[in-house]
Structure 1
Amino acid sequence: MSRNYFDSTFLPPLREVIRSNNLSSRNSYGQHFLLDINLIRRIVKNAGNLVGETVIEIGPGPGGLTRGLLEVAEKVIVIERDHRFSNALQQLAIKSNGRLEVIIGDATQIFLKEVISSNRTAKIVSNLPYNAGTKILIHWLRDLSRINSMTLMFQKEVAERITARSGNKSYGRLSILSQWLCHTQKLFNVPASAFVPAPKVISSLITLKPRTSKIFPAKFSALEAVTRATFGQRRKMLKSSLKTLIECPEIILHDTEIDTTMRAEQISIEKYCAIARNYAKIHSTDLN
């Protein structure tokens, strides 16, 4: 099977696609487009070997990153919430010889098992919309069974929250949920000038590779609830922040050998999972 499935050099420039389809970014969707083919190919390269793979992209917009993915992947599935981009993406699908599938819909409402055949997994490569990236990631973390890897662009601040370790000021709920289920790594920063329109912040590309098994046992819903409570009041001691969730948090903290005066960012993933297990025992009927 040839490595060169698709040659994007024969396509009209992305700026021309945007102009001819009367497209523009919308702040309400957190849209910032990647048009630099060299940067696009760097992102694709950092996603690993995509030859023969099914790749999913969220928020393709006019299809800049999509073009780079089609150059190497066997199949690309794009999910775009903004119907204005449908025509441009369908035009690209026609030129892909059936290797691009376009889905117009909300990625947070679409389950990957609905778009990937039962015997396949996919790699996700996306420049995620700024205002929905965190929500989309948590949606995927709930079921990683069809995901081989994720290479994602976030605002730098969000990327640091995903990859931060305990004790770091960026460490939080997103760090714990992501690292509990995945190996995470920050790859490189991307300046605001690389996007159209330019955002007010730096962006970062990161990878998340699902672990073969959870590093510590816990229910997702329980761990999510515990971390939401503690980091929702991160300046408070655990014995205070957990009272919004547990009537007598001192008992659970004592059982897990955690100092009740510690604060949220001081607690390891292992200890959070222990708290979540004890919380689940008490509130099993409230958790799925």
Structure 2
Amino acid sequence: MTMPSTPPPAPLLGAADIRRLAAELDIRPTKTLGQNFVIDGNTIRRIVAAAQLGEGETVLEVGPGLGSLTLGLLDAAERVVAVEIDPVLAGRLPATVRQWRPERADALDVVLADALRVTELPHPPTALVANLPYNVAVPVVLNLLARFPSLRSGLVMVQDEVADRLAAGPGSKVYGVPSVKAAWYARMAKAGVIGMNVFWPAPKIASGLVRFTRHDPPATTASREEVFAVIDAAFAQRRKTLRAALSGWAGSPALAEQALVRAGIDPTARGEVLDIAAYARIAEGKAPTA
């Protein structure tokens, strides 16, 4: 009895395809835009699998570039909304999808915009999956989580040390502002490391995968902006005690100590030992301005 064969995976862009497209468009990857194109199909499949997309997902992809990851996402998602800052790349992407995934061409929306400033999308995204430029990865993630509450989960590829920071918990040596602010929105977890040779041009450092699942922010009467102001102050001088580090934010060391005591926090503690809920309590405990 002959067993039915498993159909081969749909083709993805390889190194030769990426270089051919780049030459056609006269594209030279730039450090300014953080352009490192994935040239390995198995890596694309690994990223899509790690994203754990559910049924009916509308995926937001930031920086689709020449379309390597876009094709893989179209195989797994109901719709892909691709935000691209480079007008040449944004203009070419639909044609690439029509060539490689003609049956999925209508499932792609391309938005020419800066992901740090985008405020509207043609469809509410439910998941973020992106190979993010190293130099703006953290602000892009935080901005998108703030702007689009429909984002419930995602997977981003960032510089490996940035991945460690985003996923770090209180007490870790790399726990800092990105860790705490990201925790306002979601639970972040490291989901793997990607080597350098699967990119063109190859970066000088490895990339890390970070998966997130959105949760409700801490129950607090303080606004997000007020809580984030405390976080910024606490880590601006991370070697100092919170009493000293928050003195400018509170108005004086004495007022900082009062806010900390009201929040149930030792004034001699340092910022790297507090979780997001503690920062929310501190923000609540600030004395009103006269």
In the superposition, the TM-score normalised over structure 2's length comes to: 0.87
SS at match of 1:101: strand
Cα-to-partner distance string for 1:96-151 (whole Å, 9 max, x where unaligned): 4311111111011112xx2154xx54211000111111111111232452112111
Is contact 1:93–1:99 with CA below 8 Å preserved after alignment? Answer: no
Aligned equivalents of 2:158, 2:149: Cα separation in 1? 23
| CA RMSD between the two structures | 2.3
Instruction: Give ranges in structure 1 of 5+ residues lacking alignment.
Output: none
Aligned match of 1:74: 78
For 2:117, the equivalent position in structure 1 comes to 109
Deviation at 1:51, TM superposition (A): 4.2
Q: Which moved more, 1:44-53 or 1:245-254?
A: 44-53
TM-score by length of 1: 0.88
Aligned to 2:4: none
| Pairs within 5 Å for 1:231-250 | 231-247=235-251, 248-250=255-257
Structure 2's unaligned 5+ residue stretches are: 1-6
- For residue 174 of structure 1, give the secondary structure of its aligned residue in structure 2: helix
Corresponding residue for residue 269 of structure 1 = 276
Write the distance in 1 (CA, Å) between the matches of 2:105 and 2:185: 36
**AA matched with 2:116:** T
What amino acid does structure 1 have at the position aligned with 2:267? T
Deviation at residue 282 of structure 1 after TM alignment: 2.8
User: Which aligned runs of 4 or more in structure 1 are off by greater than 6 angstroms?
Assistant: none
Instruction: Name 2:107's counterpart in structure 1.
Output: 99
Alignment counterpart, residue 285 of structure 2, candidates 270, 275, 278: 278
Residue 221 (structure 1) aligned with residue 228 (structure 2):
no
Q: Which has the larger radius of gyration?
A: 2
Map Cα deviations across residues 73-105 of structure 1 (whole Å, 9 max, x no partner).
121111011123133213124444311111111
Tell me whether 170-179 or 124-133 shows the greater mean CA deviation: 170-179
Distance 1:251 1:24, change over 3 A: same
Q: Deviations over 1:208-259 (max 9, x none)?
A: 1111x22442421011111111111111111111122111211101211222
**Pair 283,105 (structure 1): closer, same or farther in 2 beyond 3 Å:** farther
CA contact (8 A) 1:167 1:265 kept: yes
Identity across aligned pairs (percent)?
32
Kindly report which structure 2 residues correspond to 1:15-94, keeping only aligned pairs within 5 A, or say none: 15-94=19-98
In structure 1, what is the equivalent of residue 206 of structure 2? 202
**Between 83-92 and 245-254, the greater mean CA deviation after superposition:** 83-92
Distance in structure 2 (CA, Å) of the matches to 1:223 and 1:10: 44
Q: Match of 1:182?
A: 186
Contact 1:93 1:102 in 2 (8 A): no
The amino acid of 1:107's aligned partner reads A
Moved more, 59-68 or 137-146: 137-146
Q: Distance in 1 between matches of 2:130 and 2:180?
A: 22
How far did 1:190 drift? 0.8
For residues 26-76 of structure 1, give each alpha carbon's deviation from its aligned partner in whole angstroms, at most 9, with x where no partner exists. 111112111111000110011113543211100111111111111121211
Contact kept? 1:124, 1:150, Cα under 8 Å: yes
